[in-house]
Structure 1
Amino acid sequence: MKAKLDPVIHPTARLQLCSMLAAGTSVETSVLRQALGLSPSAFSKQVSALTDAGYVSQERGTLDSRKTWLSLTSAGAKAYRSHVDALEEIVSGRFIPGA
């Protein structure tokens, strides 16, 4: 298997969060939290894991400082793409254990 699953991205909520961020340049946190259906504390925990890994950056709004915007960092985009490649390898049947 060329690509590797990333244990930081692998939990469902984090994978979904990364997929939404990969689709846009920057997304406001309340939009993401509502789309994921997570409580504020659960959402915060998932975002913290991604920011601690250097995969997600946070930026306060310029017009409304109460809003926070998230985006994938270049390292996050690379890790997400690699994780998706690994998943695609597994589901396509191309995955050979030990290879």
Structure 2
Amino acid sequence: MRKEIEQLNKVFDSRIRIGIMSALMVNEDINFNDLKALIDATDGNLATHLKTLEEHKYIKVEKGFIGRKTNTLYSVTKAGEKAFRSHLDALEKIIKSVN
């Protein structure tokens, strides 16, 4: 079990980051407001966690406009997908070893 615990990715320790990554794994992309509603986070809290994921190159950010309104879309990168799957695999092994 120690080996599996060492395989956990500290970047995904947060409930909000796990929520972001989970949403992005099943959606091609998602905008800020939809993500905020889905995860039930404040603007500032969500923005902070998104920035951390972007700094680790786990998500991609595309800013654009719908009419005159700004629209920011987020999507998972290949590196993000790989890191998150590895994290989930380690969690699964830990859970199985406890049972």
Q: How many residues align?
A: 94
Partner of residue 38, structure 2: 35
Gaps of at least 5 residues in structure 2 are none
Give distance in 2, aligned partners of 1:78 and 1:23.
Answer: 14
RMSD: 1.8
Superimposed CA distance per residue, residues 22-65 of structure 1 (whole angstroms, 9 cap, x where no aligned partner): 01111111101111111100000010110011101101235456
Could you tell me which runs of 5 or more consecutive residues in structure 1 were left unpaired when the two chains were aligned: 95-99
1:54 partner SS: coil
2:76 is the counterpart of 1:67: no
The structure with the greater share of residues assigned to strand is 2
Distance 1:17 1:52 in 2: 14
TM-score, normalised by the number of residues in structure 2: 0.86
Could you tell me how far apart the structure 2 residues matched to 1:4 and 1:20 are?
22
- Higher percent of residues as helix: 2
TM-score scaled by structure 1?
Answer: 0.86
Report runs of 4+ in structure 1 exceeding 3 Å deviation: 61-65
Question: Tell me, what secondary structure is at the counterpart of 2:7?
Answer: coil
